[in-house]
Structure formats: C-alpha cells, structure tokens
C-alpha cells in the first residue's frame, strides 16, 4: 500500500470549522445542527479516520472503492456497534465495481447514470438490502466534471421510482473552482432549486443536499447545503 502522510485532525481546527458552519447557517437562517460534516479522508490513513471519529466525526467520504475497502478492513471491530460511522462514496463509480462498492459503502453519492443505478438496484436486491444514494448533478460547465445533466434529472427520477432497492436520499454537486469563492454561489443556488423542486422523490425524513468543499462550504451552506464534504480544511493539504 502507498504511504500516507501523517496528519491528525486537532480538536481546535474542528471547533474552528464548526464555528464557521454555525455562522454560515445563521446567515442562512437555518439550524446549524441541520448541516452535517462529511469528513473526506481520501489519501489519509485508517489511523486518521480513527482519530477523527474519536473527535466526534461520524461520516466519512472516500473517492475510491479499493482504498475505502482497505481502510474499513484496517478498522474492523474498532467502532462500537452503536456508533458505527457512515461511509460515503464521493468519487465516480465504475459499473464493474458496484458489488464491492455495496460491500464497502453505506451511501453512494456519485450516481450519475441509469445504467449505474439499475446495477446498484440489482445488486442491492441480490443482497436483500436497500442502498442509499444521492444523484450527482453536473452543475458546472467544465467537461471533465461528472454528473447527470440538470435537464435530465426529472426523467431520471421518474425512471428510478420503479427501482425498489435504491433509496434516493437527495442530490450531490461539485461547483467549479474559482479564486473568488463567491462565484460558486449561482451553481449552489441552481442545485438547491432542483433539490426543492424534486423533493418528493427523496424518500427519507431529512433529504440530503451535499454541496460545498473546503474552499466554498460557507457559500454552500448559505445556499442551503445540508451536508458539506470537507477534506483539506480539516486534515491539511493532501500530498
Ligand atoms: C476530495 C473531495 C472533497 C474534499 O475536498 P477538499 O477541498 O479537500 O475539502 C469533496 N468532495 C469530493 C467529491 C471530493 O472528491
């Protein structure tokens, strides 16, 4: 296995991020408790995940199936049964890794095609265990970005109502990177509009709007994010 940089999250930096979340939620007139932190631990070691969990973080995001699988294996039996973390896949999922992904993750945030969600449904049915998903919407014009085109979302969600082993909990999006993070605002606003419009499709008590990363999470919260995906601001820059 490749070597991991030694980084540990300090209570001070976590408290600092929590303060900033609280202030952004206040600006948006929402309850700060309704904004969850997804700690993105890609490239970090299993010990790092453990340390973050001990400081109170309970949801972890990874972008590669195999890397997450290894970390989960390294941490097996360490978390008490009543305080198991929730693992989210935030990176692109190849269709040939669906089976492994369902063994490894509790939520697939990067669902962006009918082919993929049908395979997830099939595999979840085989396991007799529904899978939680977010639909990744392409809110940025950058051709390299993943996601379902916004104009396809309505038709897509209609098709998904027939898939009884996928539970769609909400939407995920990645804004383009700007020097001035204020420029991300219209992208987050557009995703929020879609989230409100299609809310009836999200069959959980508290649907998830996963948007905002280290450079722009405060803007995302002001625009209605219920989950921010934070890596470098918690753990320092990735090598
Ligand atoms: C890496 C990653 C993040 C975290 O990025 P930071 O800028 O380090 O906070 C969030 N979301 C996705 C989809 C990622 O790939």
pLDDT, tens digit, 9 for 90 and up, residues 195-236: 999 999 998 999 999 999 999 999 999 999 999 999 999 999
Evaluate whether 172 touches 211 at the Cβ level (below 8 Å): yes
State the distance from the centre of ligand 1 to the C-alpha of 149, rounded, in angstroms.
Answer: 20
For 134-158, write each residue's pLDDT tens digit. 999 999 888 777 899 999 999 999 9
- What are the beta bridge partners of residue 148? 137
Helix, strand, coil in percent for the chain, rounding step 5: 45, 20, 40
Mutate to test the pocket of ligand 1, among 7, 21, 43, 61 (most ligand atoms within 8 A of CB): 61
Per-residue pLDDT reduced to its tens digit, 4-35: 555 678 888 999 999 999 999 999 999 999 99
Ligand 1 centroid from CA 125, angstroms: 30
Task: Give me the DSSP letters along 140-179.
Answer: S--TT--SB-GGGHHHHHHHHTT-TTEEEEEEEE-PPP-S
Number of Cβ atoms within 10 Å of the Cβ of 24: 22
Sign (positive/negative) of CA torsion 35, 54, 43, 107? Answer: negative
pTM of the model as a whole: 0.95
């Amino acid at each position: 296995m490749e070597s991991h940089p030694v980084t540990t999250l300090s209570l001070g930096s976590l408290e600092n991020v929590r303060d900033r979340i609280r202030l952004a939620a206040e600006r948006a007139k929402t309850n700060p408790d309704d904004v969850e932190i997804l700690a993105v631990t890609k490239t970090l070691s299993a010990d790092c995940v453990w340390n973050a969990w001990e400081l109170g973080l309970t949801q972890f995001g990874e972008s590669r199936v195999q890397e997450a699988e290894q970390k989960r294996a390294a941490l097996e039996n360490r978390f008490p049964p009543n305080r198991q973390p929730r693992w989210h896949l935030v990176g692109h999922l190849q269709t040939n890794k669906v089976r492994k992904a369902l063994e490894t993750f509790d939520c697939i945030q990067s669902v962006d095609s009918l082919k993929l969600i049908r395979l997830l449904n099939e595999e979840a049915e085989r396991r007799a265990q529904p899978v939680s998903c977010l639909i990744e919407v392409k809110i940025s014009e950058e051709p390299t970005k993943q996601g379902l085109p916004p104009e396809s979302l309505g038709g897509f969600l209609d098709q998904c109502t027939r898939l009884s082993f996928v539970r769609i909990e909400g939407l995920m999006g990645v804004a383009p990177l700007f020097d001035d993070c204020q420029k991300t605002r219209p992208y987050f606003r557009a995703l929020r509009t879609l989230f409100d419009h299609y809310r009836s499709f999200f069959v959980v008590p508290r649907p998830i709007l996963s948007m905002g990363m280290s450079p722009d999470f405060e803007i995302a919260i002001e625009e209605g994010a219920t989950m921010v995906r934070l890596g470098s601001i918690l753990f320092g820059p990735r090598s």
